[in-house]
């Protein structure tokens, strides 16, 4: 079962549901589709993992939007590629300003002028990654340069906004296939 705060899910749905659709959201919904259950199980595993809270929020918003869309709630399609650059330009400019911007998904969506769900879908269409995954990748790439320049790995981890050196090492290894120390060698 998935129990969500009514105000939170209402706000998420309000972002992407067209006001004129007159959409009605049930308080309880039973879904018995095997593919939805499989997706739910993956979401559940992630929500109870050590994944970053930002990554969990992205996964939950995506899951809710996909379920609502599959059940007939009108959600605008991902932005067509011709508009992607103009929508994402302010988001990407902001993300490029610093190595580790601490920013909420809602703020990035505001910069693009679209809902969080639409931002996730549009960003993935343009980059192949969610905003969080893109930012992690950017931080790892910056870390690579700094490690090769001889900087202390713990200092690099801290400067790039990782919780600690172990967190940096896990993320780095997932992206680069080796630990930061092995990469330096």
104 and 152 assigned to the same domain: no
87 and 34 both lie in a single domain: no
Q: Is residue 1 part of a domain?
A: no
CB atoms within 10 A of CB 157: 23
Q: What is the CATH number of the domain that holds 148?
A: 1.10.10.60
Rg (alpha carbons) of the chain, rounded to whole number:
19
Q: Are residues 12 and 65 in the same domain?
A: yes
- Cβ proximity of 126 and 84 under 8 Å: yes
Are residues 38 and 85 located together in one domain of the fold? no
* Structural domain containing residue 117: 81-128
Element (H, E) at 167: helix 165-176
- Tell me: do 42 and 87 sit in the same domain: no
25 and 50 share one domain: yes
Domain count, the chain: 3
Q: How far is CA 179 from CA 133, 176, 183, in A?
A: 18, 8, 6
| Contact criterion met (CB below 8 Å) for 119 and 112 | yes
- Residues 72-97 have a mean pLDDT of 71
- Does some domain include residue 178? yes
Percent of the residues in the chain that have a pLDDT greater than 70, as a whole number: 81
pLDDT at 152 over 90: yes
The pLDDT value recorded for residue 155 is 92
Residue 75 domain flag: no
Where does the pLDDT of residue 164 fall: very low under 50, low under 70, confident under 90, or very high at 90 and above?
Answer: confident
* Better-predicted residue by pLDDT, 12 or 109: 109
In a domain, 149, yes or no: yes
**Is there a single domain that holds both residue 66 and residue 85?**
no
1-19 residue pLDDT tens: 677 777 777 777 777 765 4
12 and 44 belong to one structural domain: yes
Q: Residue 29 — left, alpha, or beta (φ > 0 → left; ψ -120 to 50 → alpha)?
A: beta
Cβ(99)–Cβ(142) below 8 Å? yes
pLDDT for the residue numbered 22? 46
């Amino acid at each position: 079962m998935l129990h969500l705060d009514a105000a939170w899910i209402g706000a998420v749905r309000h972002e992407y549901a067209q006001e004129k659709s007159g959409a009605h959201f049930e308080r309880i919904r039973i879904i018995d589709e095997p593919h939805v259950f499989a997706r739910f199980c993956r979401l559940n595993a992630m929500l109870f993992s050590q994944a970053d809270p930002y990554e969990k929020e992205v996964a939950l918003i995506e899951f809710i939007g996909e379920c609502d869309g599959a059940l007939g709630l009108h959600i605008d399609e991902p932005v067509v590629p011709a508009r992607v650059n103009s929508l994402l330009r302010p988001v990407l400019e902001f993300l490029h300003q610093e190595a580790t911007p601490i920013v909420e998904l809602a703020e990035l969506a505001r910069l693009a002028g679209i809902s969080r769900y639409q931002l996730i879908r549009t960003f993935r269409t343009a980059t192949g990654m969610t905003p969080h995954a893109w930012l992690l990748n950017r931080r790892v790439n910056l870390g690579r340069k700094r490690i090769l320049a001889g900087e202390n790995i713990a200092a690099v981890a801290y400067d790039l906004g990782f919780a600690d050196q172990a967190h940096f090492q896990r993320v780095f290894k997932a992206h680069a296939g080796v630990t930061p120390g092995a990469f330096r060698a």
